[in-house]
Amino acid sequence: MSDERTLDLLEAKIEELKQLNVMDGIDLSSEIAKLEKKLVELRRELYANLSDWERVKIARNPKRPYALDYIQTIFTGFYELHGDRMIGDDRALLTGLAQLNGQTVVIVAQQKGRSTEENKERFFGMARPQGYRKGVRAMKLAERFGFPVITFIDTPGAYPGVESEEANIGGAIAESLLTMSQLRTPILSVVIGEGGSGGALAIGVADRVLMLENAVYSVITPEGAAAILWKEKDKTKEAAAALNLTAEHLSELGLIDTVIPEPLGGAHKDFDQTVEALKASLVGFLNELRKIKLDKLLDARFKRYRSIGSYRELGVSEQEAYSEETAPSGDAPVEEAPDE
């Protein structure tokens, strides 16, 4: 089976032929048409059989549109708001006001960088406590004025460095979760690329959760799961499959509301088409949420999260066994703790 790189080469060749066609006046159009048809077929075949690990690679592809690309095309007049009023301004997590179809919304978005320089500023999209605290500030502002909140999730995870821990990153994430679960205004979240663990969920508690087709959302990266559970670095492919992290799997499991289709080859192959699909979905959900009374909306949000979980009843004999005090004490072997 062909991979994305071969297809990109073929695409480049077709472009070359088109140039020749124009320059030399030789008619290659039937050849070009044939090749283009072949390219579409190959790409369709490739994407129909994409492994979950390959999906992760698409989600992380630096050519993929980032939050600001969507913000600048879907909304008008994005007006960025800076700073958490305590430590500083985190550039990995953006907040601001904007308009969607003439109505004001508050945007909270994780932003990756493309160049080394940009990534130095954006911390590869990994927000620090001041980022999440800025997000909370923006969400409370939205609540005060009745603006809906739209969040864009695209992060490998919260920034795991010393300065993050010093400023209590865990507490900042928890505070953001709490704020969102109580926020008296509609919230939409869309995973546009990588939904990396607690750092992603921190801005992902919402009335509707959307995912782009090639986005992923997971409790841990496949690399992390391979290292911790398989204890082998090269098991990332297996880990990616086991984690059920694709939009399709998560939709089947009922953990997200909708999957927004992407053009063949990923969002970057036809940005306009992706924007159109995402915008239509956001507008549709927003209109739906606006019609719901706030008390009902909050009630439904609570029920949504209260009911998440997968467990089963204990059998009668097991219940009896556990009601007796049978636990051995002290020095039993301890399983290694997961890191996330």
Partner 1 sequence: MSIFKDKQYLRVNVDKVPDESLWMKCKACGELIFKRRVRENNNICPNCGEYFFLTVEERIEMLVDEDNFDNISKSIEADDPLEFVDRKSYQERVEQAQGVTGLPDAIVVGRTKINEVAVILGVMDFRFIGGSMGSVMGEQICHGMETAIADKCPFILVSSSGGARLQEGLFSLLQMAKTTAVRAKLADVGLPFISIMTYPTSGGVQASIASLGDIIIAERGAMIGFAGRRVIQHTIAQELPSNYQTDTFAFEHGAIDRVVKRDHMREELSTLLSFFAEVA
Which of the residues 119 through 158 are near partner 1 (CB under 8 A)?
156-158
Residues 157-196 close enough to bind partner 1 by CB under 8 A: 157-158, 160-162, 164-171, 173-175, 177-178, 180-182
Stretch that binds partner 1, among 12-20, 93-101, 238-246, 275-283 (CB under 8 A): 238-246
Of 75 and 159, which has the nearer Cβ to partner 1? Answer: 159
> Which one of 244, 251, 258, 273 is in contact with partner 1 (CB under 8 A)?
244
DSSP secondary structure string, 128-188?
A: -HHHHHHHHHHHHHHHHHT--EEEEEEESSS--SHHHHHTTHHHHHHHHHHHHHH-SS-EE
> Which one of 58, 97, 105, 201 is in contact with partner 1 (CB under 8 A)?
201
> Which one of 255, 280, 294, 300 is in contact with partner 1 (CB under 8 A)?
255
DSSP secondary structure string, 187-238?
A: EEEEEEEEEEHHHHHTT---SEEEEETT-EEESS-HHHHIIIII--GGGHHH
Q: How far is the CB of 317 from partner 1 (least distance, A)?
A: 11
Residues 26-65 close enough to bind partner 1 by CB under 8 A: none
Residues 216-235 close enough to bind partner 1 by CB under 8 A: 217-220, 224-225, 227-231, 235
DSSP 315: P
Contacts of range 330-337, beta carbons closer than 8 Å, 24 or more positions apart: 336/228
Backbone angles phi, psi at 217, to 5 degrees: -150, 120
Total residues contacting partner 1 by CB under 8 A comes to 81
**Quick count: other Cβ atoms within 10 Å of Cβ 1?**
7
Of 235 and 269, which has the nearer Cβ to partner 1? Answer: 235
**Quick count: other Cβ atoms within 10 Å of Cβ 310?**
6
298/24 Cα distance (integer angstroms): 66
Q: How far is the CB of 319 from partner 1 (least distance, A)?
A: 5
Of 43 and 122, which has the nearer Cβ to partner 1? Answer: 122
Q: How far is the CB of 336 from partner 1 (least distance, A)?
A: 6
Of 79 and 302, which has the nearer Cβ to partner 1? Answer: 302
Backbone angles phi, psi at 315, to 5 degrees: -70, 165
Half-sphere exposure of 88 (CA within 13 A, CB side): 9
b/e string for 26-49 if b means 16 or more Cβ within 10 A?
Answer: eebeeebeebeeebeebbeebbee
Asked if 286 and 186 count as a contact pair (C-beta separation under 8 A), the reply is yes
Residues 302-321 close enough to bind partner 1 by CB under 8 A: 302, 305-306, 308-314, 318-319, 321
Q: How far is the CB of 174 from partner 1 (least distance, A)?
A: 4
Q: Does 110 bind partner 1 (CB under 8 A)?
A: no
> Which one of 40, 253, 294, 300 is in contact with partner 1 (CB under 8 A)?
253
Q: How far is the CB of 220 from partner 1 (least distance, A)?
A: 6
Q: How far is the CB of 61 from partner 1 (least distance, A)?
A: 20
133/85 Cα distance (integer angstroms): 9
